[in-house]
Amino acid sequence: MEIKRLVDLQELKRHIGVFPVTAILGARQCGKTTLARQIKYNHYFDLENPRDLAKFENPQLLLEGLSGTIIIDEIQRSPDLFPLIRYLVDTVKKQKYVILGSASRDLIQHGSETLAGRIGFLELSGFGIHDIGAMNFKTLWTRGGLPRSYLAGSDEESMLWRENYITTFLERDIPQLGITIPAHTLRRFWTMLGTYHGQLVNYSEIGRAFGISDMTVRNYIGILAGTFMVRVLSPWYSNIGKRLVKSPKVYIRDTGLLHALLSIQDMDQLLSHGRLGASWEGFALETVCRSIGKRNEEVYFFKTHAGSELDLFWQEGGKNWGVEFKYADAPGMTRSMKSVMDDLALERLWVVYPGKDRYALEERITVIPPADIGERWNYR
């Protein structure tokens, strides 16, 4: 079964039209190579292929004679190519580069420093609702969006694939990034973060549980965030005369991986699990973040010590917008919703729930189902 990722393909083509170099970033096995090879290209190199890697023993001689669109996959294996690519795009005007890699922290640093003004970053996740259709959102929620997990023949096969994915990521990918943390230590840490999914991060509490310092906890979370496994959602600061929560929230970005870490194999097990609500919040959060097209540093949550809370907040067009995530049959109005409308001067507030119907709670507060989350957010 092949699933066309038309929205992502369109966005990739838009980036290529604007920038001499486009970097596709994302977790391993999220579909970066498949997407890149759907465009019209002239040359493709995979630096994990020994034959292609051997061709790069003399990279300038290889690349400067080429023209058209050049794809270089797994470029994090040869970071010394960045200065050369800068020289080539400035001197060989008939070249466009598409570079792929899994390590956002290193790629963004090298790209931003060396290719400033020449590179555009396209972050790719797994399948989204707009790829598979809203009718299949429960499978997407349970298995996650990584293509091989979602397309597996059964829940058992999907779970087996995800368990091996986690092992490979920890034992192969993390060491390749130059990180020397033992795989079993980082796995225990990652699993513990699964119990914090959707909650405020208490660095000291996690540190005490592992016998490590607060700074080490921050470093481990940074590693998982930099490799697209974890989302750290910052609190929104607003001068409203109330005491605000200042700790960030943490989410496992792919709910399929979250469920594997928590040993949840299928929807029946998920529905009876204590982390059901948190799992729905994380799934809906990632879906909305893709739809509104905001980077992680452009989205926030809001929470006061008095109990006023908003799961997702962002600004667009000079106005404030918010989303709540509720796992309920028919969410109703709450005191917290009324409070955040006033505290944040929200233009609109949407409540995303796993139902089928759309209905209004107030003039500016609307309950919406997953089917209403399109490829681009509808602000009406």
Are residues 347 and 321 in contact, defined by beta-carbon separation less than 8 angstroms? yes
Q: What is the pLDDT of residues 263-275, one digit of tens each?
A: 999 999 999 999 9
Q: Calculate the average pLDDT of the chain.
A: 92
100 sits in which H/E element: strand 95-101
The domain of 269 spans 129-372
Looking at per-residue pLDDT, the higher value among 256 and 174 belongs to 256
Tens-place pLDDT, residues 6-23: 999 999 999 999 999 999
240 and 221 both lie in a single domain: yes
Question: Number of folded domains in the chain?
Answer: 2
Residue 197 pLDDT more than 70?
yes
Residue 221 included in any domain: yes
Helix 155-168 to helix 183-196 angle (10° resolution) is: 130
CB 182 within 8 A of CB 46: no
Same domain, 73 and 153: no
- As a whole number, mean pLDDT of residues 122-128 equals 94
Q: Answer yes or no: is 249 within a domain.
A: yes
What's 90's domain CATH number?
Answer: 3.40.50.300
Question: Each residue of 34-93: pLDDT tens digit?
Answer: 999 999 999 999 999 999 999 999 999 999 999 999 999 988 888 889 999 999 999 987
Average pLDDT over residues 224-242: 86
**Same domain, yes or no: 84 and 201:** no
Same domain, 12 and 144: no
How high is the pLDDT of residue 78?
85
Instruction: Let me know if residue 379 belongs to a domain.
Output: no
- Domain stops at, among 60, 92, 123: 123
Average of per-residue pLDDT across 195-214: 91
Whether residue 201 is found in the same domain as residue 243: yes
Same domain, yes or no: 309 and 294: yes
More confident residue, 226 or 179: 226
Does some domain include residue 142? yes
Model confidence pLDDT, tens digit, residues 242-252:
777 789 999 99
Q: Are residues 110 and 145 located together in one domain of the fold?
A: no
- Domain annotation covers residue 378: no
3-state secondary structure at position 203: helix
Residue after which a domain boundary falls, among 96, 123, 150: 123
167 and 237 part of one domain: yes
* 27: in domain: yes
**263 and 239 inside one domain:** yes
99 in the same domain as 210? no
**Does residue 380 belong to any structural domain of this protein?**
no
- DSSP letter string, 130-168: HHH-GGGHHHHHHH-S-HHHHT-SSHHHHHHHHHHHHHH
Answer whether residue 66 is part of any domain: yes
109 and 215 together in one domain: no
Mean pLDDT (whole number) for 344-348: 96
Which amino acid appears at position 184 of this protein? Answer: H
Cα distance between residue 78 and residue 154, in whole Å: 38
Q: Last residue of some domain: 123, 154, 180?
A: 123
Residues 99 and 187 reside in one and the same domain = no
